[in-house]
Each structure stands twice: as structure tokens, then as C-alpha cells.
Amino acid sequence: MRKKLICQAIILAGILAACGTNNKSAKVDESNVSVESSVASSDGREATDMKVVKKNVTSSKEETSTQESTTEATTAPVTTAAETSTEAKKESEKQETSKPEQETSKKSEEATKAKEAGEIGFDPNWEYASFSKIHSGSAVLYKPSEKGNGITIAVNAGHGTKGGSSQKTLCHPDGSAKVTSGTTKAGATTAVAVSEGMTFEDGTPESTVTYEMAKVLKAELLSRGYNVLMIRDGSDVQLDNIARTVIANNNAAAHIALHWDSTTSNKGAFYMGVPEVDSYRSMEPVASNWKKHEALGKSLINGLSANGTKIFSKGRMEMDLTQTSYSTIPSIDIELGDKKSDHGKDTLKNLSKGIADGIDSYFGR
């Protein structure tokens, strides 16, 4: 019996030693092996019967596979917060970059809408059209991109007709003589079709400034809902003063010609009033329209004055003009200063507001 116990002890020690070695090499938990013991009592001596029972052991390959999977999951590409922020910033910059293009496109669309009415040429069948000598050009009608008020204003940038001074037209449709002096002296029956205009003290041609003024006024009027008939929509238009007037007569509710005087005193603004001469005021179409001309002129001067524009004298000077002599709608030649007057962008903008205010007043708006 004693020998038997010793043998069992030796066997147990061997088993424990083997288990220790396996734990190091195969990393098997103690939970994978259990020892069952049964104790029997015989003659007062303890007898221990020991067995080693193997449980289901997970192979080392599975553990290795699990570890590799964990490693792969840990090292897999991950979109960090910084990367997400960078991507968002790039997208934002892309959108910001596209904004100017979208705004430019929007402006282009608005310009297209404003110009959709297109060109209006000279019709030889219109009343007084036969008195014109230069009429191959066209005016351009603009409409506001938003809903307008239905009123069309003819904006006539003075001068700007190449060869205009080489042609002459009748001062009055009835062939009578001029009653006041201007570019053409009193007593004359014909006048240059379109004069070249003066030159400002800084060397700028009047025709250049009147066109710049016309563009600024066009924008102001469109913003207020008016249609704008640009009689001269460029540096030159082949339309004499009679043709310009006749086109306005048949396509607009009012005609405003933009000019600066040839004096050098920075005299201020004024309009060319209808001469207080019975023979002139009784001549058609003047007789039927001169009161409308005067009312429009006064409204323009009031608008300019209210916006801080210097006004010459009482804002009026009598003048026998071709424009007035052939107009069948309210029509005014407005002189916005002279050779010495400022004609910078801010000044033109302020003048446009004053004129537009005067137009609003005249039409009861």
C-alpha cells in the first residue's frame, strides 16, 4: 500500500509538472483541466484516488485568430474628427467659391430680362418722321426684372452721332424761324441735325458724360419699376434730334434729354423752358404739349434740388429747341451743370436720384 501511495504521488507530481509546461507553451487556463478526487477510508488510513479529466479545450489556433482579428480591427483606417473637419472645410470653401459664379449668373439673367424688349428702330410712317435726315440707328427698350409700373421713360444721352453736324434739319415742322438763340441763332430755319457737344475742362467730351449719366439713370429708373427707352445705348447712335424725338413720341410716356451747358461758371442745373412767344406756343405740336413740358421740367428741378444739386437761377432758361418743337409727349432738355461741373460717379448717382424723384412726382408716384 505504501508503495502504491508513493507511486501515485510520483504520478501526480509528473502530471502537475506537465500541466505547468503546457500553460507556458499553449497558454491553456487552469479551467481547462480539473482534478477529481475520491477519498476512501481503509484501516484508518487515507487513500486518495486521483484522476485527470480533460475538458473541451479551445485550440491555440482559434486564440491566435481572435488576436489577429482584434489587431486588424484596431489598426483599420478610421475617419478621425480632424479629417471630418477638413473635408467639411473643403466643401464649405467649394461652396463659397461657387457663390460669385452664382451671383454673376443671377445678374446676367436679370440683365437679360431687363433687355428682353430689344431694339426699336425708326418707322418712317410715324408723325414728323419725314423731317429726319439721320435715322439708321435704333433705341433700346429695357424693362425691370421685377414687375414694373408700365411707364416708359425715354432717356436721351445728348450728342453722340457721328456726322451729325454735317446734316441740317428744319427747326420747326411748319418751316418757321427759331425764336431764340442757342447752338443755332434766332431767325434760322434750319439747324445741325445733332451737334457734337462741348468738352469739359478735364478734357472729357460731353457725349461721353451724357451717356454715363444715361446708364446711371437707367439703373435708377429700372429699380423703381419704370421701363427705360435708351435713345442712345452706346458711344454713337445714328439718330438725329428729330429721329430721337419721334421714336420717343411713339414709345414712351416722357422724354428726357441729358446735357451739360457750355459755360464755365459751374452754374448748376436748369431745364430748357418753352419760350414765351405766342407764335411758337401756338404752333403744333407745341401748342398741345408745352404745358406738359413745363410741368415735367419743374418736377425735375424740384427733385434735383431736394437731393442737394445746385440749381441755376430759378432752374429754367427759355430755349427754342428741335426736341421741343417736334415732341408730342412731355419732353425736357435738362442741363445738369456746365464745363466746370463735377461729373464723377457719386455726382451722377446723386443726379439720377434727383431726376428719378422728379419723374415720380410728375407721374404721381
Concatenating the DSSP letter of every residue in 312-331 gives EEEEEEE---HHHHH-SS-E
Instruction: Please check whether residue 63 lies inside any domain of the structure.
Output: no
Question: Is residue 78 a part of any domain in this protein?
Answer: no
Asked if 146 and 14 sit in the same domain, the reply is no
Number of domains in the chain: 2
**Does one domain contain both 206 and 352?**
yes
Final residue belonging to a domain, choices 14, 35, 55: 55
By residue range, what is the domain housing residue 349? 114-362
| Together in a domain, 239 and 130 | yes
Whole-number Å distance between alpha carbons of 113 and 144: 7
Residues 161-188 have pLDDT tens digits of 999 999 999 999 999 999 999 889 999 9
Query: Within 10 A of 208 (CB to CB), how many other CB atoms are there?
Result: 17
Q: Is position 49 within any domain?
A: yes
Domain-located, residue 89: no
Whether 109 is covered by a domain: the verdict is: no
Phi, then psi, of 254 in degrees rounded to 5: -160, 155
pTM above 0.85, yes or no: no
Residues 6 or more apart from 229 whose CB is under 8 A from it? 120, 139, 140, 141, 142, 152, 153, 154, 155, 247, 248, 251, 252
- The pLDDT value recorded for residue 92 is 52
Q: Are residues 22 and 159 in the same domain?
A: no
Give mean pLDDT, residues 236-242: 98
CATH for 264:
3.40.630.40
78-87, 120-129, 270-279 — which is least confidently predicted?
78-87
Q: Both 148 and 277 in a single domain?
A: yes
The verdict on residue 105 lying in a domain is no
